[in-house]
Structure 1
C-alpha cells in the first residue's frame, strides 16, 4: 500500500458496481439491486443471483428504475457502505 504524504489528494482505487435502483423511499439512501449470473457447478447451468446494496445518495436524485454506478466507501451507517457516483 502506498503511503500518502500530507496534502496529496490521491486515493486508493475503490470497487465499483452497476445496478438498478429498487427503492428510493428513504432520505439520501437508495436500495440498489445487483444481478449477476453464476455457473452452478453440479448441473452446469447459469443461475441468476441478486444482491441488495444500500447506497448513499447525497443529492437524492435517483428514482426507482434508474441505472446507477456505485463506489465502495467508508461505513456511513449500519447498512450503508456504498455511494452513488452517477446515474447511467
Structure 2
C-alpha cells in the first residue's frame, strides 16, 4: 500500500484563495455543516463521521445542536494533514 501524500498549503495560500471572486462570500470564515460539506465536496454524513472520530479537532465547535467550522483551519487541516 502506498503512503498517502497530502498537499502542504500555507495560511497565506488559503487567505488568497478566499479573497478572489465570490469564494469569500460563498464560504465565510465561519461555516455551517452544509457549507463545509459543499466546500470539501463530501456528504454531510462524512463531516459528521470525521467529527465524531475526532479528525476535525481544532476547527469545529458545537453551538447548541449545530456544528460550526472555522473555514481556514478546516482547509489547512485537511490539505496539510489529511483525515
TM over 0.5: no
Structure number, greater radius of gyration: 1
TM-score interval, normalised by the smaller of the two chains: under 0.3
TM-score by length of 1: 0.27
TM-score by length of 2: 0.28
Bigger share in strand = 1
